[in-house]
A and B are shown apart, each in its own frame.
Chain A
């Protein structure tokens, strides 16, 4: 479903992605792990067209992703994104946030969009917060709303950019539970994360990225339990046993 071939991306003279080849099949959950600054989030942002790239190709169902192209808006309605800092619209209620895309981008009937939104809010356990504003919610609740907002677009895939990194530790579990249940429904997911336990349990495959290249990839159990590459081993040791 998502094909990345020889992806190159630079910020000025700094090359952050140095030739990445990867693919994500329909229904697959792929976790991208690696040190900070390794280019993980940049890959997601390139897939969603939030960043342009200089070399290589990204295709979603055979359609090339280009930031400035006419097709990018259509691609974005099919590949939703969940951000590290939630990015809910603070001037709109939870319900308005969730129906914003369906009503104003996909031109869905407002009443049907509200019914769908309420189902989604129910599924993330926050139906009673429909009329609240984001500022009245905890970070974990906001991130679950952001996931409901992404799902409201009925996407083919969802990209998660470190969805739990901005949360207090006690709030991480609820968000990961929602993502775990989402994975069980067969949703295609690409998740940039530092939650190794989540990656081990939920991901079909794990990509370990360092300095803009894929250092190691494979089934999550193989990469996370029995890494072959020294850099992967070193990274996992530091993440799993920081002391």
Chain B
């Protein structure tokens, strides 16, 4: 036990640097996926067939491509078209784009779960589409969307480890590097798992809070 603590004390600073990168990747890609997901969802429920079709095509395309392939494409292929970026930027953009498809489906489900009578009430008082969404639909949809949104946040936090494949030295990659050089696999990966758990617990509690609030 004392050996574990000694080694932990030695490895922790490097792992915490990795954890900080994990948080950056997660928060950045969460923001991007939220914005893009809202755009795809708005197009899908706009009632304009061409927009709905484009949105549907994008969502299906993104759902059909593994995140890791998307990351490789952005980091290794885009420079061929003159678009270069750091590994961190590529990681955030790749994960953000990939998860925008799932966010869009979350948002769409939330919007469509709002009672049809609410839309009709808004329309019947002369509201246009955007005003109806802003004043009547979205405030109600948010309550429905928050629990699945929280779950997506947790999945994104864990999937941020995929950014390691394009050299983002986040928590999982830092752990792997330490383990490779010290052969202290058990200590290192126990610490890595604990750090992921510590980051996930607040999110799990947040989801539980959303679920409780939603059921009221």
Q: A80-B125, A87-B120 are in contact. List 20 more A-B contacts (CB 8 A).
A: A50-B120, A50-B123, A73-B128, A76-B124, A76-B125, A77-B125, A77-B126, A81-B120, A81-B124, A83-B121, A83-B124, A85-B117, A87-B115, A87-B118, A88-B121, A89-B136, A89-B140, A91-B139, A104-B127, A104-B135
Interface residues on A, range: 20 to 34
A window 30-56: CB within 8 A of B? 48-50
A59-B175 Cα distance, complex, nearest whole Å: 73
Instruction: Establish whether residues B121 and A87, one from each chain, have CB atoms under 8 Å apart when the complex forms.
Output: yes
A window 62-100: CB within 8 A of B? 73-74, 76-77, 80-81, 83, 85, 87-91, 100
From B126, B128, B143, residue with most partner A Cβ within 10 Å: B126
A105 within 8 A of B: yes
Instruction: Establish whether residues A87 and B127, one from each chain, have CB atoms under 8 Å apart when the complex forms.
Output: no
Q: Find B117's partner among A73, A74, A76, A83 (CB 8 Å cutoff).
A: A83
Q: Find B126's partner among A76, A85, A87, A91 (CB 8 Å cutoff).
A: A76
The 8 closest A-B pairs by CB, nearest first: A87-B121, A101-B125, A77-B126, A87-B117, A81-B124, A76-B126, A105-B126, A73-B126
Question: What 1/0 flags go to B129-150 for Cβ under 8 Å of A?
Answer: 0010001100110010000000
Instruction: Establish whether residues B124 and A48, one from each chain, have CB atoms under 8 Å apart when the complex forms.
Output: yes
A207 within 8 A of B: no
Question: What 1/0 flags go to A159-203 for Cβ under 8 Å of B?
Answer: 000000000000000000000000000000000000000000000
Q: Which residues of B contact A (CB under 8 A)?
A: 115, 117-118, 120-121, 123-128, 131, 135-136, 139-140, 143
Q: How far, in Å, is B209 (CB) from chain A's closest CB?
A: 18
Instruction: Establish whether residues B126 and A89, one from each chain, have CB atoms under 8 Å apart when the complex forms.
Output: no
28 residue pairs of the A-B complex, CB under 8 angstroms, read A49-B123, A50-B123, A50-B124, A73-B128, A76-B124, A76-B126, A77-B125, A80-B125, A81-B124, A83-B121, A83-B124, A85-B117, A87-B115, A87-B118, A87-B121, A89-B118, A89-B136, A89-B140, A91-B140, A91-B143, A101-B125, A101-B127, A104-B127, A104-B131, A105-B126, A105-B131, A153-B125, A153-B126
Who on chain B is nearest to A79 by CB? Answer: B124
Residues of B contacting A77 in the complex (Cβ-Cβ under 8 angstroms)? 125-126
Residues of B contacting A106 in the complex (Cβ-Cβ under 8 angstroms)? 126
Residues of B contacting A105 in the complex (Cβ-Cβ under 8 angstroms)? 125-127, 131
Q: How far, in Å, is B215 (CB) from chain A's closest CB?
A: 13
